[in-house]
């Protein structure tokens, strides 16, 4: 009973954040409501007994990804409210139709799936066991993730760096659009 | 709560993410939609880890952890690309990204 | 828990040590059994919500008086004896002040920012052991919980700066967030050594692992080469994380008015103020837990003093250290700040991880004995000290004096 109440609260929180991200007009508000979704998901993980994943979710998504999104919005001068026609792409009706159709198909398929009613007994996993699994059978995936994150770090820095040589190149310089506006 | 409830929440979250990714014009919002879809997948992983028949109790959880790490990498590179594009074109509007059109 | 060798488990000392736990149990027993865990939990929450803001109030007046003494003046001395009631006057002032929201501000986000900040910081106290058996929520991944909560305060600072629609607020918020993200990496990595050596993420287990004594001296992590380096790195990163001097650029009065809370007044300003000091105390508390033996006594013959007294004593020492630094050091520049984080703190904390691992395995290879211990000590200290000197020299040599360049700010 208690658990059902918690589940409903967290689920509503998660979905409300996502709906707000879909409908709000201000980009920063979208990013902040995305944070609400992340927090709701973390709470759902905690309610499922996955303590470590829930806390990692908070650390990575709220602590890093949400901040990144917000920084990107400010760096691209997108923090004001947009007019309605700027909000959605031209084919937004088709897009939402497709999304709603996908949602319906998924929910319909889940409702009479055979595995769905299983209650299962909750696995108990301590942080120590996670650490030992990461250093034991999952050592290779861990190393690969480490390499991936390093590559992503370097790649993101290089991609986002201003390209000095290109600006000095006279041929390319003419093709560059004029810089507009100053600092905010 | 049963597995179905969690899976339905995940399915709805996925549909919302898909809707955002398909309809919004701003590149950053499209990335937000993709993040939501990835998170829906994570919720599925954790729900199956909790309710499924598990021969190996660690696998589902570690799958979710790796998925979170990959999603973080994806977000950083994606946002880096958006910023790089903004430097060139002074816009993040996807409908105006037409320079590669023939 | 008889992990602490010097602790006499009988008599009035143990009663005094456990007095708050006993009171909590006695009060909870007055209620029906179904409610007992909830009552105990609520009592714990009330304790935290009462004690730490009280320390905050005391800290504000001590800071003003201490800074005053360091600057050859008296500090507040009008309200109450020696000005000790100054926080009351401050509280009345901030509660009765007009609450101004700028007309163009985003009212909802503007309101939510201080609330989110204070709630997140209070959550961090939930896993902090303030004494023997005195932790509100003994979870397995306590340290991870604290860092996750700490990471989410950055968002509330951004919310405050952005929603004010003020250049200074936004600049202050961006500075604060960039600084907090940069220093979070060394903060986490420097804490990892203590977690590595304990083999647990639980703050209680970390305190317990530092519990024993050799002779009269305790086994605190700070008395090992990697522990000392980790502690020093943790302190510097904690100063930056809490926006304290010399890393108080986000609120540099001479540049940014007051940083991200420029547009806040009255009660919300007080909440930010509270949040800042509570954040400082909680990070100090975790530093104490990770490296300074938590609630353990510093000498075995002093172990009869209650554990909570030791914890709060260490906390006050840490607060004094923060105030002392504020009175001593000038503020850094933004580029110095970032260079220091990425080119010095990060390599040092990564190296410290390696040294901690080496320490562990050298201990196994060399075996016990005074000679082996000395070799291990000297080798680890030499690696850390050598790198410190070399890295510092290299950074100094590369430093060019000239106008600063803006690479990413445009």
Distance CA C348, CA C233 (A): 8
Residue with the larger pLDDT of the pair C263 and B67? B67
Closest CA to B9 of A19, C148, A32: A19
Confidence of residue A184 (pLDDT cuts 50, 70, 90): very low
Of the candidates A164, A79, A90, the one whose C-alpha atom is nearest the C-alpha of residue C407 is A164
Which carries the bigger pLDDT value, residue C281 or residue B86?
A: C281
Kindly state whether residue C410 falls inside one of the protein's structural domains.
Answer: no
Using DSSP, state whether C404 is helix, strand or coil. coil
Peptide bond into C246 cis (omega under 30): yes
| Residue A81 near residue A26, CB atoms below 8 Å | yes
| Residue B82 pLDDT level (bands cut at 50, 70, 90) | confident
pLDDT in tens, C219-275: 888 888 888 899 999 999 999 888 887 887 777 666 677 777 777 877 888 888 888
Residue range C156-183: mean pLDDT, rounded: 85
How far, rounded to the nearest angstrom, does the alpha carbon of residue A180 sit from its chain's CA centroid? 31
Cα(C201)–Cα(A115) distance, integer angstroms: 35
For B56, the token pair is 């190996």
Is residue C1 assigned to a domain? no
User: How close does chain B come to A22, measured CA to CA in Å?
Assistant: 6
Helix (H) or strand (E) segment spanning residue C214: strand C213-214
Q: What is the pLDDT of residue C283?
A: 92
A120: nearest CB among B50, B65, B88: B50
Residues of A with CB below 8 A from C201's CB? Answer: 127
How far B71 CA lies from chain A's nearest CA (Å)?
9
More confident residue, C4 or C303: C303
pLDDT of residue C152: 83
Average pLDDT of the residues in B60-68: 88
Average pLDDT estimate for C332-350:
85
Answer left, alpha or beta for residue A162, where phi above 0 means left and psi between -120 and 50 means alpha.
beta
What is the rounded distance in angstroms from the CA atom of residue A33 to the CA atom of residue A17?
5
Report the length, in residues, of chain B: 102
Of B67 and C249, the one with more pLDDT: B67
pLDDT at A83: 61
Q: Which of A30, A56, A100 sits opposite B29 (nearest CB)?
A: A30
Residue A144 pLDDT grade (very low, low, confident, very high; cuts 50, 70, 90): very high
Distant-in-sequence, close-in-space partners of B46: CB < 8 Å, separation ≥ 6: A44, A45, A48, A50, A53, B6, B60, B61, B64
Burial class (CB within 10 angstroms; exposed 0-12, middle 13-18, buried 19+) of C58: middle
pLDDT tens-digit profile of A2-21?
A: 778 888 889 899 999 989 88
3-state secondary structure (DSSP) of residue B23: helix
Assign C250 to helix, strand or coil: helix
Does residue C211 sit within a domain? yes
More confident residue, C2 or B11: B11
| Cβ neighbours of B86 in A, within 8 Å | 75-76
User: Any idea which of A91-100, A143-152, C363-372 has the lowest mean pLDDT?
Assistant: C363-372
| pLDDT tens digit sequence for A77-112 | 766 666 655 666 677 788 888 888 888 888 888 877
Cβ C272 vs Cβ C214: under 8 Å: no
Average pLDDT over residues C325-334: 82
Measure the CA–CA gap between A68 and A38, rounded to whole angstroms.
14
* Pair B64, A53: CB distance under 8 Å: yes
Euclidean distance between CA atoms A69 and A90, whole angstroms: 24
Phi and psi at residue C22, in whole multiples of 5°?
Answer: -65, -45
Contact B23, A96 (CB under 8 A): yes
Of A131, A134, A152, nearest to A143 (Cα)?
A: A134
Rounded mean pLDDT of C191-203?
88
Check: CB of residue C321 under 8 Å from CB of residue C265.
no
Sign of CA dihedral A171, A172, A176, A181: negative
Cβ-Cβ contacts under 8 Å, A67 against chain C = 154-155, 158, 177, 181
Q: What is the pLDDT of residue A169?
A: 52
Residue whose token pair is 């904690």 = C238
Q: Which domain holds residue C333?
A: 12-399
End-to-end CA distance of chain B: 54
> In the predicted model, is pLDDT for residue A29 greater than 60?
yes
Residues A21, A26, A28: CA angle, nearest 5 degrees: 75
Q: Calculate ∠ Cα C338-C341-C344, nearest 5°.
A: 120
Per-residue pLDDT, averaged over C278-292, amounts to 90
Among candidates C306, C375, C333, C338, which has minimal Cα distance to C14?
A: C306
The answer to whether position C19 is within a domain reads yes
Q: Tell me if A152 and B77 make a contact (CB, 8 A cut-off).
A: yes
A96 part of contact set with chain B, CB < 8 Å: yes
Q: What are phi and psi of C199, to 5 degrees?
A: 75, 25
Which of B94-98, C1-5, C72-76, C128-132 shows the lowest mean pLDDT across its residues?
Answer: C1-5
Size of interface A-C (CB pairs under 8 A): 66
- The residue assigned the tokens 């304990």 is C198
Q: Which residues make Cβ contacts (< 8 Å) with residue C279, sequence separation at least 6?
A: C121, C124, C150, C153, C241, C242
Q: Which of B15, B19, B57 sits opposite A125 (nearest CB)?
A: B57
CA–CA dist A156, B10 (Å, integer): 29
Is ipTM beyond 0.90? no
Distance from CA of A170 to the nearest CA of B (A): 16
Of A32, A35, A55, nearest to C148 by CB-CB distance is A55
Mind giving me the DSSP string for A107-128? HHHHHT-GGGG---------HH
A chain contacts of residue B94, beta-carbon cutoff 8 Å: 89
> What integer is the mean pLDDT of C94-121?
85
Of A159-163, C111-115, C280-284, least confident by mean pLDDT is A159-163
CB A153 within 8 A of CB A147: no
**Contact at 8 Å (CB) between C316 and C346?**
no
Share the mean pLDDT of chain C.
Answer: 83
Task: State the nearest Cα–Cα gap between A55 and chain C, in angstroms.
Answer: 6
Cβ contact C131:C311 at 8 Å: yes
**Number of continuous H segments (helices) and E segments (strands) in chain C:** 15, 2
Distance CA A119, CA A109 (A): 19
- Give dist(CA A5, CA B1) in Å, integer: 10
Query: What residues form DSSP beta bridges with A26?
Result: A81
Q: What is the DSSP letter of C297?
A: -
Taking CB atoms and an 8 Å cutoff, what residues of chain B touch A22? Answer: 16, 19-20, 24
Higher pLDDT, B58 or A89: B58
Query: Which bin fits B51, alpha (ψ -120 to 50), beta or left (φ > 0)?
Result: alpha
Residue C409 is predicted with a pLDDT of: 57
Contact A31, B32 (CB under 8 A): yes
Please, which contacts does A88-91 make with residues 24 or more away whose CB atoms are closer than 8 Å? A88/B23, A88/B24, A88/B25, A89/B22, A89/B23, A89/B24, A89/B25, A89/B94, A89/B95, A90/B95, A91/B22, A91/B23
Asked whether A89 and B92 are in contact (CB, 8 A), the reply is no
Q: How many CA atoms lie within 13 A of A180 on its CB side?
A: 8
Is the Cβ–Cβ distance between B17 and B36 less than 8 Å?
yes
| Chain A residue with minimum CA distance to C155 | A67
C272 inside domain: yes
* DSSP result, C90-116: HHHHHHHS-----TTS-HHHHHHHHHH
How many CA atoms lie less than 13 Å away from C73 in the CB half-sphere? 9
Number of folded domains in chain C? 1
A116 close contact with B: CB closer than 8 A: yes
Closest-CA residue of C relative to A72 is C174
DSSP character at residue C213? E
The first and second tokens of residue C264, run together, are 């806040």
For tokens 């305060």, what's the residue?
C153
The two most distant CA atoms of chain C are separated, in Å, by 72
C-beta atoms of A58 and C184 within 8 A? no
Q: Given this model, what pLDDT does residue B14 score?
A: 92
Chain A stretch 54-93, residues whose beta carbon is closer than 8 A to a beta carbon of chain B: 56-57, 60-61, 64-65, 68-69, 71-73, 75-76, 78, 82, 86-92
Q: Which of residues 11-30 of B touch A (CB under 8 A)?
A: 11-20, 22-26, 28-29
Q: Quick count: other Cβ atoms within 10 Å of Cβ A24?
A: 17
- Reported as a pLDDT band with limits 50, 70 and 90, residue C89 is confident
Are C154 and C180 in contact, with CB atoms under 8 Å apart? yes
Query: For C325, how many CA atoms within 13 A lie in the half-sphere containing its CB?
Result: 18
Confidence (pLDDT) at A79: 60
* Other beta carbons within 10 Å of C324: 13
pLDDT at C3 over 50: no
Are B58 and A130 in contact (CB < 8 Å)? yes
Over the stretch A108-140, which tens digit does the pLDDT of each residue have?
A: 888 777 765 556 666 777 888 888 888 888 889
Rounded distance between C-alpha atoms, residue C45 and residue C126, angstroms: 8
Question: Is this structure's pTM higher than 0.90?
Answer: no
The answer to whether residue C6 is domain-embedded is no
Q: Does residue A37 surpass a pLDDT of 90?
A: yes
Any chain B CB within 8 A of the CB of A19? yes
């Amino acid at each position: 009973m208690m658990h059902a109440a918690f589940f409903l609260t967290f689920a509503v929180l998660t979905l409300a954040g996502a709906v707000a991200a879909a409908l709000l007009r201000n980009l920063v508000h979208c990013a902040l409501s995305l944070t609400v979704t992340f927090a709701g998901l973390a709470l759902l993980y905690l309610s499922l007994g996955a303590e470590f994943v829930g806390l990692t979710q908070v650390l990575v998504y709220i602590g890093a990804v949400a901040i990144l999104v917000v920084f990107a919005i400010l760096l691209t001068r997108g923090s004001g409210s947009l007019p309605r026609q700027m909000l959605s792409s031209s084919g937004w009706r088709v897009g939402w139709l497709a999304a709603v159709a996908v949602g319906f198909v998924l929910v319909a398929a889940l409702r009479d799936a055979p595995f769905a009613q299983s209650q299962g007994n909750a696995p108990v996993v301590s942080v120590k066991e996670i650490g030992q699994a990461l250093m034991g059978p999952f050592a290779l995936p861990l190393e690969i993730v480490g390499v991936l994150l390093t590559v992503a770090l370097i790649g993101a820095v290089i991609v986002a760096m201003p390209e000095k040589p290109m600006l000095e190149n006279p041929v390319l310089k003419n093709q560059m659009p004029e810089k507009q506006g100053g600092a905010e | 709560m049963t597995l179905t409830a969690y899976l339905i929440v995940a399915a709805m979250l996925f549909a919302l993410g898909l809707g955002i990714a398909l309809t919004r014009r701003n590149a950053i919002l499209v990335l937000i939609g993709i993040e939501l879809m990835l998170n829906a997948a994570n919720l599925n992983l954790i729900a199956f880890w909790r309710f499924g028949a598990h021969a190996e109790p660690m696998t589902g959880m570690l799958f979710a952890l790796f998925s979170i790490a990959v999603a973080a990498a994806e977000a950083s590179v994606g946002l880096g690309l958006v910023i790089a594009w903004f430097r060139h074109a002074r816009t993040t509007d996807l409908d105006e990204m037409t320079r590669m059109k023939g | 828990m008889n992990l602490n060798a010097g602790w006499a488990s009988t008599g009035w000392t143990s009663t005094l040590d456990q007095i708050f736990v006993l009171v909590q149990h006695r009060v909870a027993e007055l209620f029906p059994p179904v409610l007992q865990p909830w009552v105990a939990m609520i009592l714990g929450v009330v304790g935290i919500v009462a004690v730490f803001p009280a320390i905050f109030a005391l800290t504000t007046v001590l800071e003003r008086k201490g800074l005053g003494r360091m600057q050859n003046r008296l500090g507040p001395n009008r309200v109450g004896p020696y000005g000790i009631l100054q926080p009351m006057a401050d509280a009345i002032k901030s509660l009765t002040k007009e609450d101004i929201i700028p007309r163009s501000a985003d009212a909802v986000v503007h309101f939510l920012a201080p609330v989110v900040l204070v709630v997140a910081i209070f959550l961090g106290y939930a896993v902090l052991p303030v004494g023997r058996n005195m932790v509100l929520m003994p979870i397995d991944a306590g340290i991870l919980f604290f860092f996750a909560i700490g990471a989410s305060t950055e968002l509330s600072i951004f919310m405050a700066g952005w929603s004010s629609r003020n250049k200074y607020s936004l600049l202050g918020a961006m500075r604060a967030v960039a600084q907090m993200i940069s220093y979070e990496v060394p903060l986490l990595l420097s804490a990892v050594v203590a977690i590595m050596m304990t083999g647990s993420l639980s703050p209680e287990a970390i305190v317990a692992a530092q519990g024993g004594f050799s002779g009269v001296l305790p086994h605190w992590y700070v008395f090992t080469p990697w522990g000392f380096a980790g502690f020093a790195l943790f302190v510097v990163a904690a100063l930056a994380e809490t926006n304290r001097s010399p890393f108080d650029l986000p609120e540099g009065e001479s540049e940014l008015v007051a940083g991200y809370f420029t547009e806040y007044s009255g009660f919300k300003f007080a909440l930010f103020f509270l949040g800042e000091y509570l954040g400082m105390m909680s990070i100090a508390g975790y530093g104490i837990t990770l490296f300074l033996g938590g609630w353990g006594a510093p000498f075995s013959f002093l172990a009869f003093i209650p554990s909570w007294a030791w914890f709060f004593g260490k906390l006050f020492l840490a607060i004094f250290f923060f105030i002392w630094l504020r009175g001593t050091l000038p503020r850094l520049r933004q580029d110095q700040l970032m260079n220091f984080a990425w080119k010095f703190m990060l390599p040092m904390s990564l190296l410290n991880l390696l040294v901690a691992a080496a320490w562990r395995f050298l201990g196994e290879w060399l075996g016990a004995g005074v000679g082996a211990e000395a070799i291990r000590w000297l080798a680890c200290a030499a690696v850390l000290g050598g790198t410190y000197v070399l890295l510092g020299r290299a950074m100094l040599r590369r430093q060019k004096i000239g106008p600063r360049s803006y690479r990413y700010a445009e």
